[in-house]
Chains A and B, each alone.
Chain A
Amino acid sequence: MGTNSVSGRAPSRRQVLGGLAAGAAITGFPHIAGAQAKAIRVGMPTILSGRVAILGTSSRAAVQLAFRQINEAGGIGGRTLELVDRDSKGRPDEAAKVTRDLINNDGCEIIIDGEASSGAFAVHEVIRDLPVLCLHTCSETSSLSADPKLHVKTAFRCARQGIHDAVAGSTYAARIAKQKGLKRWMTCSPDYAYGRDNTAEFLEFAKLFEPSIETVDQVWPKLFAPDYTESITKILQTKPQAVYSALWGGDLVAFIEQSNLYRLFANVAMFSGGLGDPPVLTAIKQLPPGLNTAYRYNRTYPAKPANTAFADGFAKIAGHEPTNWAWQTYLGCLFVAEALKRTGGRTEGAKLASELKGMAVAAPFAVGETITMRDSDHTIVGYPVAWGRTVPKAPFVEDFSDVDWGKIVELETQWKKGKGYA
């Protein structure tokens, strides 16, 4: 290691004492929440820094909007809702730690979990230990609620679920494939558990609905890869008629822009599970028309004044259009508020959970009147699972066509049996 000299100068006594005093001051634990009678504290572990910071910042803005509206309308029997958010930095062990802290130290009586993927599973385990009410509002992984081995009595998912998306997406894709004779398919999805599961489920159902669909090749770029050139040129070489992609967020923005350079979408039909997220759509400078995408969020769909009002209210707080995570989290807040009203403001996890089971709330995003928290596996149904096509100008996605929930549930049940979940 060559040179390792330490300067001979000793630090002054004052320097050392100052350091010690500072050390002593921060090792105490003064931050203990007393019994708060006025406000009901709701804790939120989420990701506020790094590459997916927008997941946390947009989810948080949704809670802020919802709580402001609830509190302005008189709160819960005179008590207000107060958000305590905390950054897990995308680390699952940190997510577990801050969740425990929020419950044990900050007096949070309810958790709205804004963690994705592994973080949500970590929070799930904390809730098993400390059974307060918990709503996962960002994790789409099916097993979180579908696998009975993972079931936690007071934990619910208020987010879209992979298997629902797979059925809805492949129903839509099979219809288009039949119309246009798209037989040769390729996939381009991020190489991690969600990307692989999502893609496999999509293909499984698409082939079930339209047997002429054939997978000619699959490419798996790394999650958070900055460059997709080798995947794009591979697609160019293979010349499929259609491409399905589970890419999302910033990765998808880069993929679309880089594909534009090759004019990829001039000859290939694109089916994307993640393109419909407004921040993705607005970040792309040249959005090609006619790409097929799942609904992630859109202020024009469902076309209801309440939906537009939500989008406006959200944009005022966050400075951009709502994300997929935003509507899910906002909906989560509506569930929490309704459950609290029904318990008369009592916050015990078991009490709230029994109210939440099977609860239906009227939401701006409901395609029908309400979105339901399913009793059997603690996950929402009846949320928008539509697909539409891109247009270069706002609202960026049009022609949403809905998929029948009856069919989704039927195939979901079969899928659960196949997995040994039911």
Chain B
Amino acid sequence: MNLEALVDCLSSASCAVTQVSTGLIVGMLLFLVTSGLSLIFGVLGIINFTHGAFYMLGAYFAFTAYALSGSFLAAMAAGAVGVGLFGMAFERLIMSRVYGRDILMQLLVCYAMILILDDGVKLLYGGEYRMMGMPDAFALPPVEIAGGFVPGYYLFMVGIALAAGLALWLGINGTRLGKIVRALAINPQMVGALGINTTLLYAGVFGLGSLLAGLAGALAAPIRTLTPGMGLSILIESFIVTVIGGMGSIAGAFLAALLIGFTRAFGAIGFPLFVDGMMFALMALVLIVKPSGLLGREAA
């Protein structure tokens, strides 16, 4: 524990800027993955354990599109849309068959899917480390803000994550479709009785959640190593974030992702060896005090 270093850092503008930006960088990508996980749980009531594998898929889709076209935009689109479509197909063909069944059945299906996707990626790309590469537009020196440094690509990444989160939040809370989706989460029979195609809606929500994971993967592809099984650690982290924030709450996911991001950023300065233990402890504490999470609805 080194509180002095922490205080020193907070009182210096350059250190504060760098560490705050670190918290945002770590937190926002995590938020992007977690928001999809939380959305799917909130509406469909299932925990999508394949979410980490979808993140991996997004990264590999982006890698392939970038290698073929050389266009960064095409890479992002391929990662996001490709995984969105894949998610919809997965929901229709496989996941929908275990709706309303034991959560363990869903877990088993997801596990099988993770095995298949990890192996499929290894079959197609081999076990080597892959890196998509940074497009020239971002190959600039880091931006200086009040003496602290923030790389341009991270500004872009945090911006996209914030925009996606905001769009999701506005979409759910401010549009007619969002209203229907919220209603679907509470009373699907009634929504169906009103003549709305709930099957399509379920697939759409699952696809959107997957798209967010794919987008996160695509955004990570230029800066994180691509290997089969890379989704595992992201799955655990986003799972912790979901539980702390509250299952099904997008705002909760945002809050918890920031919390984890800042814990990591300032933890590295103040209490470097306890950051991991901190995350588990936080998760256990939240579960004991308020099982539904920081911003989750109380279980009905």
Contact = CB atoms under 8 A, between A and B. Distances in A.
A284 B131 CA distance: 7
> 5 tightest A-B contacts by CB?
A53-B127, A261-B151, A250-B225, A285-B133, A283-B129
Given A1-B102, A261-B154, A263-B141, A250 B234 contact: no
Contacts of B102: 1, 4
30 contacts: A3-B100, A3-B101, A50-B118, A50-B228, A51-B229, A52-B127, A54-B227, A56-B127, A219-B268, A222-B276, A226-B225, A229-B26, A230-B22, A230-B264, A231-B268, A233-B268, A234-B272, A237-B9, A253-B131, A254-B224, A257-B222, A260-B134, A261-B134, A261-B142, A261-B151, A262-B149, A279-B129, A283-B225, A285-B132, A285-B133
B220 interface: yes
B268 A236 contact: no
B61 interface: no
Nearest to B127: A53
A283 B131 contact: yes
B279 to A, nearest CB: 11
A320 interface: yes
A220 B271 CA distance: 12
B287 interface: no
Given A227-B26, A234-B272, A237-B19, 20 more contacts: A49-B118, A53-B227, A53-B228, A53-B229, A54-B128, A226-B225, A226-B233, A227-B29, A227-B224, A230-B267, A250-B227, A253-B131, A253-B225, A254-B223, A257-B134, A262-B142, A280-B129, A285-B134, A286-B133, A320-B128
Contacts of A224: 233
B225 A279 contact: no
Contacts of A320: 126, 128
A196 to B, nearest CB: 11
Given A5-B100, A50-B228, A263-B141, A233 B128 contact: no
Interface in A196-231: 219-220, 222, 224-227, 229-231
What is the interface residue range for chain A against chain B? 35 or more
B268 A51 contact: no
A315 B226 CA distance: 21
A57 interface: yes
Contacts of B100: 3, 5
Which of B225, B267, B273 has its CB near the most chain A CB atoms (within 10 A)? B225
A361 B268 CA distance: 48
Contacts of A234: 268-269, 272
Interface of B: 9, 15, 18-19, 21-22, 25-26, 29, 100-103, 118-119, 122, 126-134, 139, 141-142, 149, 151, 153-154, 220, 222-225, 227-230, 232-234, 264-265, 267-269, 272-273, 276
Contacts of A5: 100-101
A250 B130 CA distance: 8
A375 B269 CA distance: 48
A260 B127 CA distance: 24
B223 A236 contact: no
Contacts of B268: 219, 230-231, 233-234
A355 interface: no
A258 interface: yes
B233 A257 contact: no
Given A261-B154, A283-B225, A54 B129 contact: yes
A56 B127 CA distance: 9
B262 to A, nearest CB: 10
A260 B227 CA distance: 20
Nearest to B122: A53
Interface string A246-277: 00011101100110111100000000000000
B15 A237 contact: yes
Contacts of B128: 54, 279, 283, 320
B133 A237 contact: no
Interface in A20-53: 48-53
A126 B268 CA distance: 41
B223 A257 contact: yes
B149 A57 contact: no
Interface of A: 1, 3-5, 48-54, 56-57, 219-220, 222, 224-227, 229-231, 233-234, 236-237, 249-251, 253-254, 257-258, 260-263, 279-280, 283-286, 319-320
B22 A51 contact: no
A174 B129 CA distance: 31
A1 B234 CA distance: 26
B269 A237 contact: yes
Which of A250, A257, A261 has its CB near the most chain B CB atoms (within 10 A)? A261
Contact of A253 (B119, B129, B269): B129
B223 A258 contact: yes
Contact of B265 (A51, A230, A284, A319): A230
B149 A251 contact: no
Contacts of A280: 129
Given A3-B100, A283-B130, A251 B153 contact: no
Contacts of B15: 237
B225 A251 contact: yes
B258 to A, nearest CB: 14
Nearest to A323: B128
A233 B154 contact: no
A317 B225 CA distance: 24
Nearest to A321: B128
Contacts of A257: 131, 134, 222-223
Contacts of B141: 263
Contacts of A52: 127, 227
Contacts of B230: 51, 226, 250
Contacts of A54: 126-129, 227
A230 B127 contact: no
Which of A1, A230, A249, A286 has its CB near the most chain B CB atoms (within 10 A)? A230
B134 A286 contact: yes
A225 B233 contact: yes
B228 to A, nearest CB: 6
Contacts of A222: 276
A229 B9 CA distance: 16
A218 to B, nearest CB: 8
A14 B151 CA distance: 63
Nearest to B300: A2
Nearest to B100: A3
A319 B234 CA distance: 29
